[in-house]
Amino acid sequence: MNPRAPKLKSLPKIHKPDIPIRPIINHTTAPSYKLARFLTTILKSIAPINNPYSLKNTQDLINKINHITVSFNTQIVSFDIKDLYTSIQTPETITLLKHATDPNTAQDLIKIS
């Protein structure tokens, strides 16, 4: 992999007033991509998150709701979360990661029989 600056593309949100732009960045060419993948693998092995209300992608949503039968008056709601991760506090996150990766904490998370 030859890391390079990611390219920025945009999509206009024509359904909204003043037609704001949605930035789209392909980060797979960014220098930090491999590091992020590596850290994700480590963190998932230490503290796996299995949230039944979290979706990976559109196919995951289809698989989860495909078997559901809805009545005529059922309303389905979705939320468009804007700037989802901008409020994560870096010092608090580092403290949580240190706690999660502490050997004593790791022993509590991994049950050895």
Single-letter amino acid, residue 22: R
Q: Is the pTM of the predicted complex or chain greater than 0.75?
A: no
Cα–Cα distances in Å, from 36 out to 18, 82, 92?
Answer: 35, 22, 19
What is the structure's pLDDT at 19? 93
pLDDT (tens place) for every residue of the chain, 113 residues total:
677 888 889 999 899 899 999 888 888 888 888 888 888 888 788 776 677 777 778 898 889 889 888 888 888 777 766 566 667 777 887 887 777 777 665 555 555 44
The answer to whether residues 40 and 29 touch, using CB atoms and an 8 Å cutoff, is no
What is the structure's pLDDT at 96? 77
What is the structure's pLDDT at 108? 55
Question: What is the domain partition of the chain in residue ranges?
Answer: 52-109
Helix ranges, the chain (H)? 33-46, 58-65, 90-101, 103-109
What is the structure's pLDDT at 46? 74
Cα–Cα distances in Å, from 104 out to 15, 92, 94, 99?
Answer: 51, 19, 17, 9
